[in-house]
């Protein structure tokens, strides 16, 4: 069972929140917690984080712009809140995410339920980016084909190079076990998704395949550009 669902939500994208909140309520029977960050100018919003300027000469594993830096701070705060609440696990979403409806039954599979009850994992990607080969899709066309042709899905330790082109990444659908939350709350360097895959040799990381959680095409305030995503 997934104990808590929380979503990093940017004030400039609040129009995207209602559909995701409805999905989470319909699927899990519990409300989605919106962890809201931004510039603090929207008086209709109760903010959990106000954007901070990027410190000079900060060490970062990816572009240290305002968006990435504040997302890093938010993810640490979200993890600390989950620790304070004593949850068994928590699912991190981002506000451009959505559950692929036909794949929601994955969550009700006995193997997945048993998995979430155990302590034999640190993190599990329910939404992710990964290419099988350098010139292929980040949606892992090989896994999509197995599912569309044979109905094959499952949960396993993450595939790693050289079996795949690059380490799995993303934070739009990451399930985190209770004992691993301090590693995120106290992460010394960001972004969190980069911090994780730079430390996979020390992390018991799993993934659900094919992906259950995807993202909409929308403007990315971290990247500063429109991100076009294939509909799944």
* Tens-place pLDDT, residues 93-121: 999 999 999 999 999 999 999 999 999 99
Residue of 204, 212, 203 whose CA lies nearest to 140: 212
| pTM of the model as a whole | 0.96
Q: Confidence class of residue 228 from pLDDT cuts 50, 70 and 90?
A: confident
Q: Determine which helix (DSSP H) or strand (DSSP E) holds 12, and give its type and residue range.
A: none
Task: List all residues 6 or more positions away from 57 whose beta carbon is below 8 Å from its beta carbon.
Answer: none
Q: Determine which helix (DSSP H) or strand (DSSP E) holds 213, and give its type and residue range.
A: strand 213-215
Q: Are residues 216 and 100 in contact, defined by beta-carbon separation less than 8 angstroms?
A: no
Q: Are residues 5 and 32 in contact, defined by beta-carbon separation less than 8 angstroms?
A: yes
Domain annotation for the chain: domains and CATH numbers: 4-227 (3.90.550.10)
Q: Would you call 227 helix, strand, or coil by DSSP?
A: strand
pLDDT digits (tens, 9 = 90+) for 121-146: 999 999 999 999 999 999 999 999 99
Query: Would you tell me how many other CB atoms lie within 10 Å of the CB of residue 15?
Result: 9
pLDDT above 90 covers a percentage of the chain that reads 90
What's the confidence (pLDDT) of residue 64? Answer: 86
Residue of 170, 161, 158 whose CA lies nearest to 129: 170
Q: Confidence class of residue 227 from pLDDT cuts 50, 70 and 90?
A: confident
pLDDT digits (tens, 9 = 90+) for 172-219: 999 999 999 999 999 999 999 999 999 999 999 999 999 999 999 886
Alpha helices in the chain (DSSP H): 17-28, 66-85, 110-117, 141-150, 181-185, 192-197
What's the confidence (pLDDT) of residue 221? Answer: 64
Query: What is the largest distance, in Å, between two alpha-carbon atoms of the chain?
Result: 52
Two tokens, residue 166: 């690059």
pLDDT above 70 covers a percentage of the chain that reads 97
């Amino acid at each position: 069972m997934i104990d808590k669902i929380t979503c990093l939500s940017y004030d400039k994208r609040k129009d995207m929140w209602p559909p995701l909140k409805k999905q989470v309520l319909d699927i899990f029977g519990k409300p989605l917690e919106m962890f809201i960050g931004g510039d603090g100018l929207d008086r209709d919003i109760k903010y959990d984080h106000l954007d901070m300027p990027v410190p000079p000469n900060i060490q970062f594993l990816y572009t240290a712009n305002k968006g990435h830096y504040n997302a890093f701070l938010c993810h640490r705060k979200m993890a600390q809140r989950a620790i304070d609440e004593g949850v068994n696990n928590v699912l991190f979403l981002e506000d451009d995410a959505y559950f692929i409806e036909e794949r929601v039954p994955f969550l009700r599979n006995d193997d997945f339920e048993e998995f979430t009850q155990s302590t034999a994992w640190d993190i599990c990607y329910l939404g992710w980016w990964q290419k099988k080969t350098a010139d292929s899709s980040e949606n892992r066309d090989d896994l999509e084909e197995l599912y569309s042709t044979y109905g094959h899905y499952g949960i396993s330790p993450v595939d790693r190079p050289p079996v795949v082109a690059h380490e799995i990444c993303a934070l739009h659908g990451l399930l985190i076990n209770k004992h691993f939350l301090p590693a995120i709350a106290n992460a010394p360097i960001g972004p969190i998704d980069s911090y994780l895959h730079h430390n996979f040799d020390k992390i018991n990381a799993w993934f659900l395949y094919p992906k259950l959680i995807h993202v909409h095409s929308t403007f990315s305030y971290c990247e500063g550009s429109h991100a076009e995503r294939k509909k799944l």
